[in-house]
Amino acid sequence: MSDRKSDSRRREVGITRRRLLGGAAAAAAFSVVPHRVLGGQAAPSEKVNVAIIGTGGQGIVNMKQLFTEPDVRIATLCDLNEESDYSLFYHGGTAGPLTEFVLMGNVALRSGKKLDFDARNLKVTNVPEANQFLQPDYRAGRSL
């Protein structure tokens, strides 16, 4: 008699423990798979930010390869070699040659003017008061 009661309970509920666990495992599998595997774009939190400093020769080849990777973002590009043309690598305005360019954006917003910048001397030529914000201290780094 006890077997008949348990059979009738299973029919009423319509789901067994095995089906429940199987369905939960299938749902969990899709939540663990990264979005790019299922055809979506990589989220910003899944991207690697890269700073490239002092490139040349093989470094240029490596940069070209990095630009083809969807989960890599070139955040900064800096090289003292003035003969190198890195204009191709300033991808969508996301990479710039010097830290000062990031600071200049803020200074330009504050002054309300377009800034003419002398990169060799690291000075703004048309708004002299803007130079007080562009000091070598910004490039020195910080001790923790």
- What is the residue-level pLDDT of the chain in tens, covering all 144 positions? 555 655 555 555 577 878 877 777 777 666 666 666 666 666 667 788 877 777 767 777 777 788 788 788 777 666 666 666 655 555 444 444 455 555 666 677 777 888 787 767 778 888 888 887 766 544 444 454
Instruction: Kindly state whether residues 139 and 107 are assigned to the same domain.
Output: yes
Instruction: Kindly state whether residues 20 and 58 are assigned to the same domain.
Output: no
C-alpha distances out from residue 54 to 7, 48, 82, Å: 74, 19, 11
Instruction: Kindly state whether residues 78 and 51 are assigned to the same domain.
Output: yes
Residue 81 forms part of a structural domain: yes
Instruction: Kindly state whether residues 84 and 47 are assigned to the same domain.
Output: yes
For the chain, what is the domain count? 3
Instruction: Kindly state whether residues 26 and 61 are assigned to the same domain.
Output: no
Dihedral sign of CA atoms 84, 100, 90, 113 in order? negative
Instruction: Kindly state whether residues 126 and 91 are assigned to the same domain.
Output: no
Instruction: Kindly state whether residues 77 and 110 are assigned to the same domain.
Output: no
Residue 118 forms part of a structural domain: yes
Quote the domain boundaries for residue 65: 42-96
Residue 37 forms part of a structural domain: no
Residue 134 in contact with residue 107, Cβ under 8 Å?
A: yes
Pick from 71, 84, 86, 2: nearest CA to 37: 71
Instruction: Kindly state whether residues 47 and 88 are assigned to the same domain.
Output: yes
Instruction: Kindly state whether residues 105 and 141 are assigned to the same domain.
Output: yes
pTM exceeds 0.75 for this model: no
Instruction: Kindly state whether residues 12 and 23 are assigned to the same domain.
Output: yes
d(CA 52, CA 97): 9
